[in-house]
Amino acid sequence: MTDVLTPEQRRRCMSRIQARDTKPEMVVRSLTHSMGYRYRLHDAKLPGKPDLVFPKSQKVIFVHGCFWHRHRCRLGRPLPATNPEFWQEKFESNKKCDRKVVAKLKLAGWCVLVVWECQVRDPHLVRDRIRAFLEAGNPVRGT
């Protein structure tokens, strides 16, 4: 199957994909802030530059897009018809990188929560997950 867009149109379209300040991330940030939690954003000193960083409790939250990080929901399943080999390799690389980042953070004593794009559609679920995550003790540090 050929691409319906010209290479220039495709490049422009792909260049607009955001890595930060996405709608799902903004929802998670707003919910977390409304619960009274304060955090840092995208700390470059940490592996993977987590979306929300809680330094005192050594906890981080990633907000992953279902498509790019291959969640098992309906949003994460489609494979682009154009150049499927490239996309399959790209998605596998993304998942491998995610696993490495989480492993590095845990090894350094950080607790990690991943909130998926599809979960953000239910703010009550996200709020409960975030609260449970942030209020739980850090098993690595024993608090």
pLDDT digits (tens, 9 = 90+) for 25-51: 999 999 999 999 999 999 999 999 999
As a whole number of angstroms, the distance between CA 37 and CA 31 comes to: 9
Per-residue pLDDT tens digits for 71-126:
999 988 888 888 889 889 999 999 999 999 999 999 999 999 999 999 999 999 99
The burial of 110, by beta-carbon neighbours within 10 Å (0-12 exposed, 13-18 middle, 19 or more buried), is given as buried
The residue that leads in pLDDT, 18 or 22, is: 22
Domains and CATH numbers, the chain: 7-135 (3.40.960.10)
**Cβ-based burial of 91 (10 A; exposed 0-12, middle 13-18, buried ≥19):** middle
> Using CA atoms in the order 19, 24, 30, 34, what is the torsion angle rounded to 10 degrees?
-140
> What pLDDT shows up at residue 142?
36
Q: Report the distance separating Cα 63 and Cα 25, nearest Å.
A: 6
Check whether 1 has a pLDDT greater than 50: yes
Question: pTM of the entire structure?
Answer: 0.84
Q: Which residues pair with 64 in a beta bridge?
A: 116
Mean pLDDT of 1-20: 68
